[in-house]
Amino acid sequence: MIESFLVFDYIRQMNFLKVSYFLKLKEFFGNMFSNKGFIKENLAVGFMLFALFLGAGNIIFLFLLCQQAGEQFFISIIGFLITGVGLPLIAIIAVAKNGGDLQILSNRVHPVFGVVFTSIVYLSIGPLFAIPRTGAVSYSIGVETFLTDAQAESWIPLFITTVIFFGITLYLAFNPTKLVDRIGKILTPALLIVILILAAKAFITPMGEFGESQGNYISNAFSESFIQGYLTMDVLGALVFGIVIIQALQARGIFEVKKQIKISIFAGIVAALGLSFVYISLAYIGATSPDATGYFAEGGQIIAASAKVLYGDFGSIVLSAVIILACLTTSVGLLSANATFFARIFPKLSYQTYLIIFTVFSFAISNVGLQKLISLSLPVLMMIYPIAIVLMIVSLIADRFDHARIIYILPLIVATIIGVNDGLKTANIVIEPLENMLSYLPLHEQTIGWLIPSIIATIIGIMISLVRKK
């Protein structure tokens, strides 16, 4: 009888939540679009967030993805946009509702988890993957394109390029001036203009037809593109960008939490629309490129070859210059953010010491080459992403239940176990007993087997929290 009452009560509450969320959503968008002043005042915040996401390092993935997807273009772009645009938007909202700080959000689980997970996120978008990628992309697009095959096979050009690149990065990070900010403000529009010019030419005079689907895109186009969206690291970036938005709003004298959340959501929507437009444009270039450029193993090589086909050598030079400078400003920003964070969390080392350590480490990692770097990052991202996705989505639900810790812990345990297994499997490390047990999960073959068990674990966590309240 008690159990029946609890189930009934749970269903009643969930129905109430559905209705209340719908009404709040309706009210939010109704107010937003009826208030032209709100849009005008906060459009700049949306553009700022868009600029933070639009990095030279993550635009390369669309080219390779859609070149391989070919005829599966439309289903592939949907899968990619979910992880590359939709989930970052949710992340912005989740972080905004938790004070704009990823560590505050992570502390909902446990303070130790807060420090560990936040550190992992910063390292991932820092010296482990994102910062080395800026150096590797600069070489792949800005230098390798102009080398002979014999020169490109040598390690020396990459080594020299990254020495210069990270030397300048370290200098600018050591001497923070408004120069980087000013260059960044110029480069983001410049990069956007270059991309739009390429896309316009590709639409007006297509390089060719969609090619044949390859590899996993033949039978699992959606799940494969969904996973490839991890490589942008936009969700991890969004978890960190939240604090940037809050600080920008506080600088404008906006301290009311509800207003900060409202503006953050609006900014996230603006950024999501902009990213969607850019990503779809890039995807089309990649999908129609094989006839003119042939097939490549790296997205950077595809965009460089496409620029040369569409606009000749001049187009390649302009693209190379813009991307190198964009990568440089991104690298400086990420390096400074990581050094600042770890100097605050682990103050035994100074900001300058962290700068040197992270720069040297990033330089070393970037010299493995872009393709190898991407292959190394994917297993780690396979582990991190399920945890990040579950954390931010659960946080949006848990506020209705006073952020009961059990609601976080259960789905995160599930997501961690399954995510780690998928990551190890991606790295060709198979734990047979665990893999055999998890193989029965729905969507396991698509490497998103964590999804349904995490949902079930969340529901169980909610029910336990309701029982404890009784």
Which H, E and C letters describe the chain, residue by residue? CHHHHHHHHHHHHHHHHHHHHHHHHHHHHHHHHHCHHHHHHHHHHHHHHHHHHCCCCCCHHHHHHHHHHHHHHHHHHHHHHHHHHHHHHHHHHHHHCCCCCHHHHHHCCCHHHHHHHHHHHHHHHHHHCHHHHHHHHHHHHHCHHHCCHHHHHCCHHHHHHHHHHHHHHHHHHHCCCHHHHHHHHHHHHHHHHHHHHHHHHHHHCCCCCCCCCCHHHCCCHHHHHHHHHHHHCHHHHHHHHHHHHHHHHHHCCCCCHHHHHHHHHHHHHHHHHHHHHHHHHHHHHHHCCHHHHCCCCCHHHHHHHHHHHHHHHHHHHHHHHHHHHHHHHHHHHHHHHHHHHHHHHCCCCCHHHHHHHHHHHHHHHHCCCHHHHHHHHHHHHHHHHHHHHHHHHHHHHHHHHCCCHHHHHHHHHHHHHHHHHHHHHHCCCCCHHHHHHHCCCCCCCCCCCCHHHHHHHHHHHHHHHHHHHC
Task: For residues 353 and 383, state if they share a domain.
Answer: no
- Can you give the pLDDT at residue 124? 93
Task: For residues 248 and 313, state if they share a domain.
Answer: yes
- Can you give the pLDDT at residue 70? 85
- Can you give the pLDDT at residue 463? 93
Task: For residues 448 and 384, state if they share a domain.
Answer: yes
Q: Which of 325, 340, 367 is the last residue of a domain?
A: 367
CATH number for the domain harbouring residue 154 = 1.20.1740.10
Report the distance separating Cα 379 and Cα 428, nearest Å: 9
pLDDT digits (tens, 9 = 90+) for 46-77: 887 887 787 666 778 888 888 888 888 899 99
Assess if residue 4 is contained within a domain: no
229: domain range? 24-367
Mean pLDDT over the full length of the chain: 84
Task: For residues 305 and 391, state if they share a domain.
Answer: no
Task: For residues 305 and 378, state if they share a domain.
Answer: no
Task: For residues 178 and 250, state if they share a domain.
Answer: yes
Task: For residues 200 and 307, state if they share a domain.
Answer: yes
Q: How many CB atoms lie within 10 A of CB 125?
A: 23
Domain count, the chain: 2
Of 325, 405, 438, residue with least CA distance to 107:
405
Assess if residue 1 is contained within a domain: no
Assess if residue 210 is contained within a domain: yes
- Note whether 329 and 194 are within 8 A (CB): no
Task: For residues 381 and 363, state if they share a domain.
Answer: no
- Can you give the pLDDT at residue 7? 37
- Can you give the pLDDT at residue 180? 52
Task: For residues 175 and 324, state if they share a domain.
Answer: yes
Q: Which of 316, 350, 367 is the last residue of a domain?
A: 367
Assess if residue 14 is contained within a domain: no
Task: For residues 362 and 398, state if they share a domain.
Answer: no
Q: Which of 345, 367, 389 is the last residue of a domain?
A: 367
Q: Which stretches in the chain have pLDDT values below 50?
A: 1-23, 25-26, 28-29
Task: For residues 430 and 291, state if they share a domain.
Answer: no
Assess if residue 118 is contained within a domain: yes
Assess if residue 2 is contained within a domain: no
Assess if residue 263 is contained within a domain: yes
Task: For residues 140 and 252, state if they share a domain.
Answer: yes
